[in-house]
Amino acid sequence: MSNRRKQSTTAGIFLCITISTLSLLSGDVSALGVNWGTMATHQLPPKTVVQMLKDNNVKKVKLFDADTNTMVALAGSGIEVMVAIPNDQLKAMGSYNRAKDWVRRNITRFNDDVKIKYVAVGNEPFLTAYNGSFINLTYPALFNIQKALNEAGVGDFIKATVPLNADVYNSPLENPVPSAGSFRQDIFEEMKLIVNFLAHNKAPFTVNIYPFLSLYLSSDFPFDYAFFNGQNTVSDNGVIYTNVFDANFDTLLASLRALGHGDMMVIVGEVGWPTDGDKNANIPNAERFYTGLLPKLAANRGTPMRPGYIEVYLFGFIDEDAKSIAPGNFERHWGIFKYDGQPKFPADLSGAGQKKILTGAQNVQYLQNQWCMLNPDGLTFSNNTNQLGDNVNYACTFSDCTALGYGSSCGNLDEVGNASYAFNMYFQVQNQKAEACDFEGLAIITTQNISREQCNFPIQIGDPTSGHSDHNHRFIGLALVSMLLLFMAL
């Protein structure tokens, strides 16, 4: 996902696993899919992730690029794939020759071995946070990619779509109900072009819906309305909405209907709940959210405007510790699996309502059992407070300290605990190199697990004998990309 944006009460939300659910009418077990993001300092091998997908009966996966290693790992798996063109390539896709070349390199050469179903053109390119940077680039890219797919002879079964955030539509303040939904006025003509083009090519509209964001962005948002078993309701001319997911989805349907395409196929490209980085981002709330969402999808209950099956991609599959945190610290904690491929909480992806332990990554290697901590003998707080603060800030700039935020899993640590957590996260990102646990003499390496109650001090995955800094270079590179995206949004 990209930098997040303000979403209206009935039109904001997010997450990424694809779930095609159990059809109770036909008895047909449909596919299960997920969003597989790779913005991580230490990634599991692609083959390991593909095996996780298979072990958990995930039949569909949504990517954020078309990485060759990922595609090779998916070859022969039978898993349906949505590949993607990142936003920074949209301008290039405005050239038809470049679009043809992209299709040749990323679609047709894999088409015999990888079950490619969709091409995502951009990712939420119309976010208000982007200040219009991609508005004039998206439709030409979409047009050229679909044309290139058609010319390559695969356009009948591989469709181009644009994953859009729910902030592209809303309901007026004077009538904030789903049936009054319409596309934003500042992008109305672009949305009309895109919707008509999708309809002409029998391609789906893809939307990312995030109930968590509705809660996060408004202190007045009714808490239970973000879930599926609360008591809050909204009446729309007698139609009762019991949760914001349904209201948001139907606001989109009303917006499409206003353009004459109320029957268009809609895919929910992302929906989910983070487990850390905010007072409402925790495992109990994530469990509650999925315990309501998954059975709803399995039962094909749909929404008031569109009862029946909805194709949904959960966001996300695995945590990504190098994502931009401009939208919030929770951005790095969307996975139903932790960074090491181990499940966070029980979840029944079939929607049958049973609490099942998901199958985690197998044969994962970890770095050595050692941590970096604040040296109790190396600091006199009265004299070195600034030195400590500077070193903690440095550590957190190049590692993930989002668990230290207010309301987060490590938010109750004291000053010593905060410093040790920051130092250890940097030490782990650096593959436990001895020089990465110095911090001007303030830190020492320990073989004693310094985790505290609910606050885990992790050990990173990787070869326990490794000591090179490739992963650090990757983190710095991702951090620079995140800073650039934030700058573009200002």
Q: Give CA separation, 24 vs 40, 293, 298, 343, in Å.
A: 38, 16, 8, 28
**d(C-alpha 258, C-alpha 230), whole Å:** 31
Give me the residue label for tokens 């004693």.
Answer: 448
Residue 80: strand pairing partners: 60, 115
| Active site positions, annotated | 124, 270
Residue partners of 380: CB distance under 8 A and separation at least 6: none
